[in-house]
Amino acid sequence: MTKNSQNTLEFKFERTIPAPPVEVFDAWLNPQIPGTPWHEAGKLILNPKVDGFFYWTFKPTGTPHYGRFTEVERPVRIQHTWVSPNTLGEESTVTVTFRKQGENTLMTLVHSDLPDDDKARSHERGWNYFLDKLVDNLGSGSHRQAPLAITK
C-alpha cells in the first residue's frame, strides 16, 4: 500500500501468468474467464475501448461498479476508472500492464486514487473485525477500556 500526498491510497499487485501477453490481455477482457473483474457479475455491460464504459454488479451483494476505459493498448496496457460504494463514489483508477517475461507474462495491476477515509475503511469487514477484537482485548483484565484514537 502506498499513501500519496493527496491522501489517497494505491495498491499494487503482480502475478506471473504462464501464457503470452496477447493471450493474457484478451483473457482479462473476457467475462467468461475466472478472476477477471467482470466474471460472475449479476449484471454486466462491458465496452472495452477508449471512452467505452463498463457496469457490473457484484453477484452476491448487488454492489454496482462503474468505469470508463481510458487506455486500451493491446497487448500491453489497459487503464480504466473505477467507481463503487467502496470508493465512496469517487473515481479511482485501475491500470493493468502485461510484460513479456520469457514464455510468461508479468501482469501488474495498480489500483490508485482510492480515498483514504474512515468511512471507506468502515466498509472493511477485516478492519472492523480487527478493531473490535483489539477494543475487546483492550477492555480485558483490570484496565479500563478506552476508545481507540487514531491520529491523522
Partner 1 sequence: MDRLSDVLTAISHPTRRAIIAQLSNGPARFLDVAKPFDTALNSVTKHLKLLERAGLIERQKQGREVLISFRGEPLRDVAGWVHHYERFWNERLDQFAQYFKDKKKKEKR
Q: Which of residues 46-105 bind partner 1 (CB under 8 A)?
A: 86
Choose, by CB under 8 A, the member of 19, 44, 76, 83 that binds partner 1: 19
Q: Which of residues 126-145 bind partner 1 (CB under 8 A)?
A: 126-127, 130, 134, 137-145
CA distance 67 to 38: 12
CA distance 75 to 98: 7
63 vs 70, beta carbon nearer partner 1? 63
**Min dist. Cβ of residue 64 to partner 1 (A):** 15
**Min dist. Cβ of residue 99 to partner 1 (A):** 15
- Residue 16 neighbours by CB under 8 Å, 6+ apart: 101, 104, 105, 106, 107
All three cell numbers of 85, joined, read 460504494
Q: Counting contacts by CB under 8 A, is residue 5 touching partner 1? A: no
Q: Which of residues 30-49 bind partner 1 (CB under 8 A)?
A: 33-37, 39
39 vs 77, beta carbon nearer partner 1? 39
Cell numbers 476505459 correspond to 69
**Min dist. Cβ of residue 40 to partner 1 (A):** 10
17 vs 76, beta carbon nearer partner 1? 17
